[in-house]
Amino acid sequence: MKEQLIYEHGQPYGIRDVNGFLFMFTKVTKFSNQEERYRRELADKVQLADDLLSFLKERASGKESASIAQQTEGKINLDPIPCNKCGSLKHVDLSCLNGCDD
């Protein structure tokens, strides 16, 4: 995987790839008597960082399968078919332009 989560002082600092940082995170500030808030905000930030990272992973694997789809595109039937309800021609993978829900 190219994207990497960078921690600094125990907090998510940013997400970078081979060329540099893609995302930078704001710092969670620790005040005295606000231990509860600090823990909650830090947990939120870690969760956000994890979510972004898994999104980037999915995006990368989506690109791979998209390029495989392009390679096999010639074999997919692109001929329009008539809509079951209104009979107007539509692409087999798309919904009818008239808004019929088939």
- By CB under 5 A, is residue 95 in contact with Zn ion? no
Start-to-end CA distance of the chain, whole Å, equals 40
Of the ranges 7-15, 31-39, 70-78, 91-99, which one interacts with Zn ion (CB under 5 A)? 91-99
**Which one, 64 or 79, has the nearer CB to Zn ion?**
79
Q: DSSP per residue over 27-81, as a string?
A: PPPP-TT-HHHHHHHHHHHHHHHHHHHHHHHHHHHHHHHHHHHHHTGGGS----E
Question: Please, which residue, 69 or 92, has the CB nearer to Zn ion?
Answer: 92
User: Shortest approach of Zn ion to residue 13 CB, angstroms?
Assistant: 52
Binds Zn ion by CB under 5 A, chosen from 5, 6, 42, 100:
100
